[in-house]
């Protein structure tokens, strides 16, 4: 059979890599399309190298823009490409603009769509990713969920049961595979960055980094917490563009660094005393690694990281952030979370189910 994978933004790469490998092991024909939603070397190229993904067969080079511009550009550039390759299935990943754009084009052409990491819901339509999830899941022919809450959400939205497959978490497949290599890079990273005990920050959601009234008190709180525990902050290009002058005024204990490669970031997450984030994937990775995770959002589409893992929702309550930050440092390390089927074999299950489909 022939499968066409669509990737575009940083969090897609580690999800597509193990599915690509598992389908290759079964001898299927595959095409990799990179939309170019993320284009900086540090947001894209380093992941292809680090994860051993082959170079894309097709690059759409769409770049940045408003949501409509970006999604529209992906759609119009993707249509001739998918028609030329005429795959049995288009595989889309996660919840980024590239995911929904490729799903919409494929569905209208009558090409079957498989959505990997389906069914997650924050129930917050103010998040662009939630819109992308809802639309993609309505269009998909096969829906691969990472956890049982995903199956429940899809059933509630009227998705036919036969289309839904609980397979586990493909991002954790990649984590398990690369953890030994991440352990190997850590000493070098530690020496380069002069690390003792440290905490790790990632922030990129428009709701957190776009508005001065939110971002500045958040940054001030983190700046002051860095006096207790030095904090590393690899900055997303969007945040850097917007706040470079203000970031330059932070105390030297709040270290602003470039976005990190996959292995490096994994090593940092594993060895951090605490992670402060607004990312979805990092809530899952810290759960698996047993690192305390404080999430600067009001909700999460990954509730299993709270019930089975190390995640705490902080919202914008800076007092609560301080409280949990200190608790994370004082408390016993939490046990690593092992939600069902987060076993490194989700991609194999996906490849097996895809292989059973008719051509």
Beta strand 58-59 with 89-93: parallel, antiparallel or unpaired? unpaired
Q: How far is the CB of 9 from ligand UD1 (least distance, A)?
A: 4
- Give phi and psi for 71, each to the nearest 5: -65, -45
Residue 101: CB atoms within 10 A of its CB come to 30
Q: Mention every residue, 6+ apart, whose C-beta is less than 8 A from residue 162.
A: none
Distance, in Å, from the CA atom of 334 to the CA atom of 328, rounded to the nearest integer, reads: 9
Count of positions on this chain that bind ligand UD1 (CB under 6 A) = 21
Q: Per CB under 6 A, does 241 bind ligand UD1?
A: yes
90 pairs with which residues across the strands? Answer: 4, 113
Q: By CB neighbour count within 10 A (0-12 exposed, 13-18 middle, 19+ buried), where does 106 fall? A: buried
Q: How far is the CB of 27 from ligand UD1 (least distance, A)?
A: 32
Site map 263..282 versus ligand UD1, x via CB under 6 A: ----------------x---
Residue 83: CB atoms within 10 A of its CB come to 11
Q: Per CB under 6 A, does 238 bind ligand UD1?
A: yes
Q: Mention every residue, 6+ apart, whose C-beta is less than 8 A from residue 33.
A: 4, 5, 6, 7, 56, 57, 58, 59, 60, 78, 81, 82, 102
Residues annotated as part of the active site: 204
Q: Per CB under 6 A, does 235 bind ligand UD1?
A: no
Site map 33..62 versus ligand UD1, x via CB under 6 A: ----xxxx--x-------------------
Site map 123..152 versus ligand UD1, x via CB under 6 A: -----xx-----------------------
End-to-end CA separation in angstroms for the chain: 6
Choose the stretch contacting ligand UD1; rule: CB under 6 A; options: 82-90, 95-103, 322-330, 346-354.
Answer: 95-103
User: Residue 268: left (phi > 0), alpha (psi -120 to 50), or beta?
Assistant: alpha
Q: Per CB under 6 A, does 290 bind ligand UD1?
A: no
| Choice between 279 and 287, CB closer to ligand UD1 | 279
| Choice between 237 and 322, CB closer to ligand UD1 | 237
Identify the residue whose tokens are 């995640």: 311
Q: How far is the CB of 210 from ligand UD1 (least distance, A)?
A: 10
Q: How far is the CB of 131 from ligand UD1 (least distance, A)?
A: 9
Q: Per CB under 6 A, does 97 bind ligand UD1?
A: yes
Site residues for ligand UD1, 163-222, by CB under 6 A, read 204
Q: How far is the CB of 299 from ligand UD1 (least distance, A)?
A: 14
Q: How far is the CB of 140 from ligand UD1 (least distance, A)?
A: 17
**What is the DSSP secondary-structure string of 265-326?**
HHHHHHH-S-EEE--SHHHHHHHHHT--EEE-SS--S-THHHHSSSEEE-TT-HHHHHHHHH
Choose the stretch contacting ligand UD1; rule: CB under 6 A; options: 94-102, 166-174, 247-255, 335-343.
Answer: 94-102
> For the chain, what is the largest distance between any 2 Cα atoms, rounded to a whole number of angstroms?
60
The first and second tokens of residue 181, run together, are 């290599």
Choose the stretch contacting ligand UD1; rule: CB under 6 A; options: 188-196, 230-238, 246-254, 289-297.
Answer: 230-238
Q: How far is the CB of 53 from ligand UD1 (least distance, A)?
A: 16
Q: Per CB under 6 A, does 96 bind ligand UD1?
A: yes
Distance, in Å, from the CA atom of 345 to the CA atom of 311, rounded to the nearest integer, reads: 23
User: Which candidate, 39, 30, 23, 38, places its Cα nearest to that of 5?
Assistant: 30
Residues at the interface with ligand UD1 (CB under 6 A) = 9-11, 37-40, 43, 64, 70, 95-97, 128-129, 204, 236-238, 241, 279
């Amino acid at each position: 059979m022939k499968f066409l994978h669509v990737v575009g933004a940083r969090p897609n790469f580690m999800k597509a890599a193990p599915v690509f490998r598992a389908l290759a092991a079964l001898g299927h024909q595959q095409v990799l399309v990179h939309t170019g939603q993320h284009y900086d070397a540090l947001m894209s190229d380093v992941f292809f190298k680090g994860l051993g993904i082959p170079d894309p067969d097709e690059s759409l080079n769409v770049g940045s823009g408003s949501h409509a511009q970006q999604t529209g550009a992906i759609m119009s550039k993707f249509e001739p490409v998918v028609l030329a390759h005429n795959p049995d299935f288009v595989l889309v990943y996660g919840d980024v603009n590239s995911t929904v754009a490729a799903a919409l084009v494929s569905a209208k052409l009558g090409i079957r769509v498989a959505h990997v990491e389906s069914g997650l819901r924050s129930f917050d339509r103010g998040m662009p990713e939630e819109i992308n999830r809802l639309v993609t899941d309505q269009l998909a022919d096969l829906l691969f969920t990472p956890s049982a809450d995903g199956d429940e959400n899809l059933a509630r939205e009227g998705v036919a049961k036969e289309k839904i497959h609980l397979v586990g978490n493909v991002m954790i497949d990649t984590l398990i595979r690369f953890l030994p290599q991440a352990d190997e890079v850590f000493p070098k990273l530690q020496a380069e960055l002069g690390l003792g005990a440290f905490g790790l920050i990632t922030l990129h959601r428009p709701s957190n980094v776009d508005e001065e009234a939110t971002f500045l008190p958040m940054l001030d709180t983190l700046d002051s917490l860095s006096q207790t525990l030095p904090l590393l902050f690899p900055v997303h290009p969007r945040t850097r563009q917007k706040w470079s002058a203000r970031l330059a005024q932070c105390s030297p204990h709040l270290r602003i660094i470039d976005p990190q490669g996959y292995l490096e970031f994994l090593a940092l997450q594993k060895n951090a005393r605490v992670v402060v984030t607004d990312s979805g994937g990092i809530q899952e990775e810290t759960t698996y690694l047993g690192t305390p995770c404080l999430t600067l959002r009001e909700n999460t589409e990954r509730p299993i990281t709270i019930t089975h893992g190390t995640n705490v929702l902080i919202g914008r309550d800076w007092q609560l952030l301080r409280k949990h930050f200190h608790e994370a440092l004082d408390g016993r390390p939490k046990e690593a979370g092992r939600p069902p089927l987060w076993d490194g074999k989700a991609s194999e299950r996906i490849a097996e189910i895809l292989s059973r489909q008719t051509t």
